[in-house]
């Protein structure tokens, strides 16, 4: 595997389900990010981790819970989501946590019924 990988690529869940998104980076980077991309809207930064420590949390609802066990892996735990949470969730990584060149994974297309 190279670059940034995400699983699953597609996810359909009910409002009462609990699921997790996984991201893995193979670039030796020290920072990882979660973004939300909705149709016709700019990418929204959700969380930033630098050296496994969360450094940014852009007022994301608590039904989204990130986890970064090491610098190569990032998870987004989902529970009791709303239909408006349906979107493409993108993971990215960069050499540092300063926002510089970020490399993105292919995303997880999430649909909440």
In the complex, the residues that contact other proteins under the rule CB under 8 A are 4, 6, 40-43, 45, 48, 55-56, 58, 90, 92, 97-107, 109
CB of 37 or CB of 80, closer to other proteins: 37
- For 12, the 3-state DSSP assignment is strand
Q: Which two tokens stand for residue 3?
A: 């670059």
Closest distance to other proteins from the beta carbon of 68 (Å): 16
Closest distance to other proteins from the beta carbon of 80 (Å): 27
CB of 2 or CB of 100, closer to other proteins: 100
43-82 b/e (C-beta count within 10 Å ≥ 16 → b): eebbbbbbebeeeeeeebeeebebebeebbebbbebeebe
CB of 98 or CB of 111, closer to other proteins: 98
Closest distance to other proteins from the beta carbon of 48 (Å): 7
Whether residue 51 contacts residue 68, with contact meaning beta carbons closer than 8 Å, is answered with: no
């Amino acid at each position: 595997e190279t670059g940034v990988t995400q699983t699953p690529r597609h996810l359909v869940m009910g409002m009462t389900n609990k699921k997790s998104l996984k991201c893995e980076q193979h670039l030796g980077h020290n920072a990882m990010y979660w973004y939300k991309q909705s149709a016709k809207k700019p990418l929204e930064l959700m969380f930033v981790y630098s050296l496994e420590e969360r450094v940014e949390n852009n007022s994301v609802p608590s039904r989204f819970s990130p986890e970064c066990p090491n610098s190569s892996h990032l998870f987004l735990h989902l529970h009791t989501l709303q239909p408006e949470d349906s979107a493409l969730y993108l993971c990215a990584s960069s050499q540092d946590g300063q926002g510089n060149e970020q490399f993105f994974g292919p995303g997880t297309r999430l649909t909440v019924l």
